[in-house]
Chains A and B, each alone.
Chain A
Amino acid sequence: QKEVEQNSGPLSVPEGAIASLNCTYSDRVSQSFFWYRQYSGKSPELIMSIYSNGDKEDGRFTAQLNKASQYVSLLIRDSQPSDSATYLCAPRGLTGGGNKLTFGTGTQLKVEL
């Protein structure tokens, strides 16, 4: 089983629609969870963090966490063409002692005009 699983996409949504991105992870002791956006050739850019079960909203973004199901998601409302990028799910593990982020392969999102 992969440590972090994401649908690679591409996920195509029309402008103004809601984009829904999903992620499952295998490390049960992960305590914190992050979503990063990565444009081609650029570095990961932090867009959301979530630490406890439930929903967390920040502007057009909502992160949802369910630790029992080992599942985290990101909703992007009113999607814009500038949201077109790869979205990386990254749980932060305690295993190994280094608090590393473990990245999934990412979901490519395309927002179409």
Chain B
Amino acid sequence: EPEVTQTPSHQVTQMGQEVILRCVPISNHLYFYWYRQILGQKVEFLVSFYNNEISEKSEIFDDQFSVERPDGSNFTLKIRSTKLEDSAMYFCASSEEGNTEAFFGQGTRLTVV
């Protein structure tokens, strides 16, 4: 069964460092998303991406964040200068259409020290 895959599963980084979180969405899906979940809190939307551009972003997704689809399979989230408060689980998701079911990857746990 097709699935969304994310790497790495766990990343520890020093404050101020850049991190890139990687995702391989389901192959025939056209809509891609990043969400995050701080420990004990709800899942929060970061950004949606369609047709090689950002279609919506939240207030969390400031200039420190960027997304890219560098090739036909990968979808990445870059955090330029990490802060302690960026520590969270980051989930990638994809869907075939804009209103259809979205499937989540297993997540990347980012720890900023």
A interface, CB within 8 angstroms of B:
31-32, 34, 36, 38, 42-46, 49, 51, 88, 92, 94, 96-106
Contact B55 A99 (CB under 8 A): yes
List 8 A-B pairs, minimum CB-CB distance, nearest first: A98-B56, A98-B48, A99-B98, A98-B55, A103-B43, A43-B104, A96-B56, A100-B45
Contact A100 B99 (CB under 8 A): no
| Contact bitstring B85-102, A, C-beta under 8 A = 1, else 0 | 000010101010011111
Residue of B whose beta carbon sits closest to that of A101: B102
Q: Pick 8 A–B contacts, CB within 8 A, sort by A.
A: A32-B100, A36-B104, A38-B43, A43-B104, A43-B106, A92-B102, A98-B50, A103-B43
Contact A97 B100 (CB under 8 A): no
CB A77 to nearest CB in B, in angstroms, measures 22
Instruction: Bin the interface of chain B by size.
Output: 20 to 34
Contacts of B48 in A (CB 8 A): 98-100
Docked pose: A14 CA to B21 CA in angstroms:
41
Docked pose: A39 CA to B98 CA in angstroms:
26
Contact B99 A31 (CB under 8 A): yes
Partner of A32, one of B31, B89, B99: B99
Contacts of A100 in B (CB 8 A): 33, 45, 48, 56, 58
Contact B104 A97 (CB under 8 A): no
Docked pose: A32 CA to B100 CA in angstroms:
8
Residue of A whose beta carbon sits closest to that of B56: A98
Contact A97 B55 (CB under 8 A): yes
Residue of A whose beta carbon sits closest to that of B103: A46
Docked pose: A94 CA to B31 CA in angstroms:
14
Docked pose: A100 CA to B57 CA in angstroms:
9
Contact A44 B104 (CB under 8 A): yes
Contacts of A101 in B (CB 8 A): 33, 35, 45, 93, 102
CB B109 to nearest CB in A, in angstroms, measures 8
